[in-house]
Amino acid sequence: MAGAAERTAVADASLPDPAPASSTGRRLRRLPLAARLGTAFVLVYLFGAAAAVSGIVNLVALKDKTDTLYQRDMRGAVAAERAQSALAGLGHAQLALTMATSTAERDTAAQQIAQALQTLDTTLAGVAHAAPDQAEALSRERASAAQLMQGYVELLRKQPLDALQFDSAVSVEGHFVAEQLARLGTQIEQARARLEKQAADTVASVSSSQARAQWITMAMLAASLAAAAVLAWLAARALLAELGGEPREAADAARRIAAGDLTGGQRLRRRGARGLLQDLAAMRDALAAMLARIQSSARQIHGASEQIAAANRDLSERTGRQLAAVDEAATSIGELRGLVEQIHVRAHESSAMASQARDAVGTGSAVVRSMRASMDAVQARSRDISEVVGVLQGIAFQTNLLALNAAVEAARAGAAGRGFAVVANEVRALAQRSAQSARDIGGLLGEATRDIEAGASLSGEVEQAMAAIEQAVVRSHTLAERLNGLAERQAAGIAVVDGAVARLDGTSRQNAELVTTVARQAEALDWQAGELAADVGRFRF
């Protein structure tokens, strides 16, 4: 490599110093090659575009003059000739009107005059458009001719059919009409001559413009050719300056470098110049130094990849053991989670049953309170019935006394009171039976009252027991709710632990995959280091 640098330096020293470049040349050389070539092509294009624009402008001018020749001069001349023809037709129609021997002939001649006047108006409008400076005179003469012709037609309509019997005014008016038509014809002829002269002038201008456009186009093409030649020479000179020599020399140097030959040197045309060949020489030397460093680095990479592979195998074994331990922990956590879920289910069932018992106790307490209220009401009614029975006993006793008194009175009455005595005895018997029934009812009511009072006392005791049971059930329900909450928090904690263990297991597996990937990358790095060393071995430096 040092020998190649020495040969390059000797080749550079063998060349003479370049002539100092002008400031303009230096500024041009600072531009990129693409910019310089682009500028040259743009200048050539601008010359061509200028020639094309000049030609287009001349063509547009020729088109405008040709349109003027056709639209104004030619159409005006044709309109003037048609106006002269219409004017001649008007004269023939006047003569036919004068020579008519019947009313129909006169009407036909009058229609011909009217049609000729319309045709004359149309053609004169075209002449006035082409020659506006004569439009006023033509319009004035035409109006006079139309007025005289209409007066002449009206005059002849009043004349007899025999021409020998015409009034002398006919010949006078006819003379005036002829003179007016002659003046109008003179005006039309002058307009036609003027339009023909304008057409001739337009043709001459077109010819002059066409000749001038030819000379300008030829001059622009010659200038474009000269500019293209100068720019091509400048572009070739700039390209040689950029390459530092002929393109084939640069291509030969590039092929040698591509083939791996970094030992040979190439002859440089100018010492100290910065061209492609000089850059290729510098690149060759830098590439040789870089390949030497790459070769050394490839050896170091090979050694480092072997150390990475050994450390990676040890890490793979440790990761495997860690993964097994994490799997065992995950299995234990799964079993514990199952137990906690069962506890949570049982606690939830206990809470539900305690809630049902609390509802049932509440319902029973309400029923007991209602039953006690009913017992109190029955006890009160039994007292009322006892009082009524006492009243019935008193009534039966009084009835018995009344029946006894009635029997005494019936005995005093003798035979007259026997029937009344029988009734009194029956009433007395009924009173005695009523009193006995009232006493029986009173006894039964007393027993029922005592039973009701005992039931009411038992109902109070049952109500107190139900209140105590309700308090105990409420406390049981509260404890069951707390147990359910603790079971839920425990299940949530187990779930968090299970998730952490799952993430730890995923991380361990990712580490294992990364270890495998690193092992493959280390093997690939070792292989690539070998390939790199083999590629570097192809170069000679």
Domain holding 30: CATH number? 1.20.120.1730
Domain boundary, last residue among 184, 209, 243: 243
Q: How far apart, in Å, are the Cα atoms of 459 and each of 27, 379, 400? A: 124, 13, 43
List the single range of 60-64, 375-379, 420-424 with lowest mean pLDDT: 60-64
Instruction: Indicate if 185 and 333 belong to the same structural domain.
Output: no
Domain check: are 239 and 322 in the same one?
A: no
Burial degree of 386 (CB within 10 A; 0-12, 13-18, 19+): middle
Model confidence at 242: pLDDT above 60: yes
Q: What percent of the chain has pLDDT over 90?
A: 0
Same domain, 239 and 305: no
Q: Are residues 373 and 501 in the same domain?
A: yes
Q: What is the domain count for the chain?
A: 2
- 178 pLDDT above the threshold of 60: yes
In a domain, 196, yes or no: yes
Residue 248 above 70 pLDDT?
A: no
CATH number of the domain bearing residue 442: 1.10.287.950
Residue 97 lies in a domain: yes
Task: Report the pLDDT value the prediction gives residue 2, as an integer from 0 to 100.
Answer: 42
Largest CA distance in the chain: 198
**Residues 356 and 418 reside in one and the same domain:** yes
Least confident range from 83-97, 110-124, 168-182, 341-355: namely: 341-355
Torsion angle of C-alpha atoms 503, 508, 509, 512, degrees rounded to 10: 160
Give the span between the Cα atoms of 75 and 68, in whole angstroms: 10
| Shared-domain flag, residues 297 and 236 | no
Q: What is the mean pLDDT of residues 165-176?
A: 76
Please state, in angstroms and as integers, the Cα–Cα distance from residue 133 to each residue in 125, 180, 187, 399, following that order: 13, 20, 12, 164
Which pair of tokens denotes residue 256? 């040698």
Q: Is residue 309 part of a domain?
A: yes
Task: Give yes or no: residues 237 and 319 share one domain.
Answer: no
- pLDDT at residue 241, as a whole number: 63
Q: Quick one: pLDDT at residue 99?
A: 79
Q: Each residue of 185-197: pLDDT tens digit?
A: 787 777 777 777 7
Owning domain of residue 319: 287-537
Which residues contact residue 100 at a Cβ distance below 8 angstroms, ignoring those fewer than 6 apart?
Answer: 106, 108, 109, 156, 161
Do 183 and 330 sit in the same domain of this protein? no
5 assigned to some structural domain = no
pLDDT of residue 7: 42
* Per-residue pLDDT, 276: 61
Residue where a domain terminates, one of 219, 243, 267 = 243
How confident is the model at residue 73, as a pLDDT? 62
Is the pLDDT at 20 greater than 60? The verdict is: no
pLDDT of residue 170: 74
What is the tens place of the pLDDT at every residue in 416-475? 666 767 777 777 777 777 777 777 777 776 777 777 777 767 777 777 777 777 777 777
Classify residue 415: in a domain, yes or no.
yes
Residue 264 DSSP one-character state: -
C-beta of residue 55 within 8 angstroms of C-beta of residue 249: no
pLDDT at residue 393 greater than cutoff 80: no
Look up residue 230 and give its two tokens.
Answer: 């100068």
